[in-house]
């Protein structure tokens, strides 16, 4: 037979350790807000559990306020999860979660005292809150980073729910200490708490890893791929086109007289020109095409499934639109043009470096022959 006192001690120790882990993770400069909500919520759940299990406390504190503190802590955890998933849970929602626990536990503790009813309610209610946490992060997706937390919240909710069912149908409060269901649930709950704590930290780690990956492959000014990103993704696109026996086209675009723009209007205007150009180029992108900032004012488009003729039409359309557009910043209106070089794998093969080199040569030929034109290579 499982010893309930020992399991209760294990549960309390694991709760304190997971709380300490989350608090330590949240206590550094720049920690995401959701991590602080999780840490504070877990801390309050620990306080609430201690209040409900300490002998000698007044009923109002142990059986009413204790349940309210647990509910408030779970509300904060749910709020943190919603924030992590780019959503929100208002303070009114957290207050409703807390007040409902306070009112029902007060009713079954002070007005119509019933240990059985209170234990049933706490089991079902806290199970529901844990399942809401599981659903929140499951809907967010990215299973590689969240699956451990989903399992933890689901299992914890199931353990609490079964405890409530047991009390509902077999619930003689005097038999609780010897109940196999109670003992098993108190064995499962600490394991679920460990899964939740590590899962929450992993979620933050995956988020930061994704941000670092994006920072390492994207140009901060324009949002296009940088050269490292082009090398990584461009090789995949070229290999995919080659395997599918489709043409692969590269369009090189360079802003004409960009140094003059910087010297005349200043670098902030030059930066705005580059952002404006990137925005125009992005409008031509299909889901399987790539846009990268290749140099200072030079961009490259990689078009999967386009031969030289099709890519030249795209390039001419872009050149004409760039010539007609105005860049407006503060009281200034600036026009600019671009020289464009176009090449295709039909003439130069599928090696991306060779294609870019040929496209660069075609683009410089456009500059030598008068600028603001498209040259095919």
Q: What DSSP element (H or E) covers 21?
A: helix 4-26
Which of 8, 12, 22, 118 is CA-nearest to residue 62? Answer: 118
Report the alpha-carbon distance of residue 335 to residue 324 in Å, rounded.
8
Catalytic, out of 297, 298, 316, 328? 297
Long-range contacts of 158-161, Cβ-Cβ distance < 8 Å, separation of 24 or more: 158/127, 159/127, 159/184, 159/185, 159/188, 159/189, 159/192, 160/122, 160/123, 160/124, 160/126, 160/127, 160/130, 160/185, 160/189, 161/123, 161/124, 161/127
Catalytic site includes residue 297: yes
Give, as one character, the DSSP assignment of residue 257: T
Which of 52, 94, 47, 84 is CA-nearest to residue 207? Answer: 84
230 neighbors 169 (Cβ within 8 angstroms)? no
Residue 356 sits at the vertex; the CA angle it makes with 251 and 230, to the nearest 5 degrees, is: 90
Report the alpha-carbon distance of residue 130 to residue 146 in Å, rounded.
14
Give, as one character, the DSSP assignment of residue 27: S
**DSSP letters of 47-74?**
HHHHHHH-TTS-HIIIIIIHHHHHHHHH
Report the alpha-carbon distance of residue 37 to residue 24 in Å, rounded.
13
Report the alpha-carbon distance of residue 39 to residue 77 in Å, rounded.
8
Which residues contact residue 288 at a Cβ distance below 8 angstroms, ignoring those fewer than 6 apart? 237, 240, 304, 305
Which of 135, 192, 200, 183 is CA-nearest to residue 158? Answer: 192
- Residues marked active site are found at 297
């Amino acid at each position: 037979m499982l010893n309930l006192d020992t399991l209760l001690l294990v549960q309390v120790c694991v709760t304190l350790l997971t709380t300490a882990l989350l608090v330590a993770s949240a206590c550094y400069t720049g920690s995401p807000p959701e991590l602080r909500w999780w840490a504070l919520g877990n801390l309050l759940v620990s306080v609430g559990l201690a209040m409900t299990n300490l002998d000698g406390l007044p009923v109002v504190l142990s059986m009413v306020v204790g349940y309210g503190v647990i509910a408030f802590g779970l509300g904060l955890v749910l709020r943190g999860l919603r924030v992590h998933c780019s959503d929100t849970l208002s303070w009114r929602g957290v207050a409703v979660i807390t007040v409902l626990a306070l009112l029902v536990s007060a009713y079954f503790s002070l007005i119509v005292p019933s240990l059985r009813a209170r234990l049933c309610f706490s089991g079902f209610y806290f199970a529901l809150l844990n399942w809401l946490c599981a659903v929140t992060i499951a809907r967010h997706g990215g299973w590689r980073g969240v699956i451990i937390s989903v399992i933890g919240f689901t299992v914890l909710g199931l353990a609490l729910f079964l405890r409530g069912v047991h009390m509902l149908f077999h619930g003689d409060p005097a038999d609780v200490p010897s109940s196999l269901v109670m003992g098993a649930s108190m064995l499962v709950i600490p394991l679920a708490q460990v899964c939740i704590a590590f899962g929450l930290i992993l979620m933050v780690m995956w988020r930061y890893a994704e941000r670092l990956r994006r920072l390492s492959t994207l140009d901060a000014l324009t949002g296009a791929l940088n050269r490292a990103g082009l090398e990584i993704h461009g090789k995949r696109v070229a290999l995919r086109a080659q395997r599918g026996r489709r043409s692969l086209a590269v369009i090189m675009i360079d802003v004409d007289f960009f140094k003059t723009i910087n010297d005349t209007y200043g670098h902030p205007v030059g930066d705005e020109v580059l952002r404006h150009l990137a925005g125009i180029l992005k409008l031509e992108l299909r889901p399987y095409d790539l846009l990268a900032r290749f140099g200072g004012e030079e961009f490259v488009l990689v078009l999967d499934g386009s031969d030289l003729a099709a890519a030249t039409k795209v390039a001419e359309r872009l050149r004409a639109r760039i010539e007609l557009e105005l860049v407006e910043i503060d009281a200034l209106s600036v026009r600019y043009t671009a020289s464009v070089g176009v090449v295709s794998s039909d003439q130069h093969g599928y090696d991306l470096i060779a294609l870019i080199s040929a496209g660069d040569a075609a683009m410089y030929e456009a500059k030598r022959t008068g600028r603001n034109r498209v040259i095919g290579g």
